[in-house]
Amino acid sequence: MKKQLAFIMAALLALSASALSACSSGDDEKTTDTQKQTDAITTTAPAVTEPVTTEAVTEAPKRDSYEYIATYTEGDRSPIDLKNGTSSVAAHFVVKEGFLESVSANCPSWSDDVGNLTMKIYKWDTDYETTIAAEPVATETFVDYEDNSTLAIELATEDRRGLEAGEYLWFLGDGEDSAGSGVGVWASAFPEEEEAILGLYKNGKEYTSGPSFECDITVVIPAE
């Protein structure tokens, strides 16, 4: 009888140990499955990328450029009297690009603000005589202008930037002075190496040295 009881007790202990082993194995499997899920989530989670901010680059607007042509070099000044209707000064010049916008001259009237001068622009043709025989492309008469005024003929309008590039003749003359004191233009030294000036004239005759009348030519070159 004692042997039978001992056998039964041994069997019960074996069954208990087997059950405990099974439970432990199940817990290990659950732990392994949970770890796999955690690893999968960690592996597939998308990377967080900071947004990239790009500053817009604005280019500065392009501006027109200007070229200034002078018929003289600054120096000691003296006036040229043009009150005689046959007296004149003129400049043959070239505009290589852009537009001829204006031509101006500083003109004395011998302190009394009395007298007239006429300014003209011609399209150059062959020589001086042929050029002034044609109609000017622009003309303006300045009546009783203030002494030492800057007289200018403006060639730009609402419809155009000025006269197109090419060769031109600027003319100042047809003087009138009822007071008899004088009307004219200031003169300085002869221009130095000014390629745009092709010829200077007094009373229709070309000259190449000596005092030169002060004439300023403005050319505008539009921005592309």
Kindly state whether residues 69 and 31 are assigned to the same domain. no
Query: Is 154 within a domain?
Result: yes
Kindly state whether residues 36 and 72 are assigned to the same domain. no
Kindly state whether residues 32 and 73 are assigned to the same domain. no
Kindly state whether residues 6 and 95 are assigned to the same domain. no
Kindly state whether residues 40 and 75 are assigned to the same domain. no
Q: pLDDT tens digit string along 113-129?
A: 999 999 999 999 999 99
Task: Single out the residue of 168, 128, 174 nearest to residue 151, CA to CA.
Answer: 174
Residue numbers of the domain that contains 4: 1-45
Query: Is 121 within a domain?
Result: yes
Q: pLDDT tens digit string along 167-179?
A: 999 999 999 999 9
Mean pLDDT, residues 76-84 taken together? 95
Query: Is 51 within a domain?
Result: no
Query: Is 52 within a domain?
Result: no
Kindly state whether residues 102 and 168 are assigned to the same domain. yes
CATH number of the CATH domain containing 216: 2.60.120
Kindly state whether residues 82 and 24 are assigned to the same domain. no
Query: Is 29 within a domain?
Result: yes
pLDDT at 224: 75
Query: Is 53 within a domain?
Result: no
Q: pLDDT tens digit string along 7-48?
A: 555 555 554 555 445 444 455 555 455 555 555 555 555 566
Kindly state whether residues 101 and 174 are assigned to the same domain. yes
- Whether the CA torsion 218, 219, 220, 221 is positive or negative: it is negative
Question: How far apart are the C-alpha atoms of 210 and 76, rounded to whole Å?
Answer: 12
Kindly state whether residues 115 and 163 are assigned to the same domain. yes
> Domain tally for the chain?
2
Kindly state whether residues 107 and 156 are assigned to the same domain. yes
Cα within 13 Å of Cα(80), Cβ side: 25
Kindly state whether residues 169 and 81 are assigned to the same domain. yes
- Containing 54, the helix (H) or strand (E) segment is none
User: Where do the H-state alpha helices sit in 61-110?
Assistant: none
pLDDT at 20: 43
Query: Is 57 within a domain?
Result: no
pLDDT at 98 over 60: yes
Query: Is 165 within a domain?
Result: yes
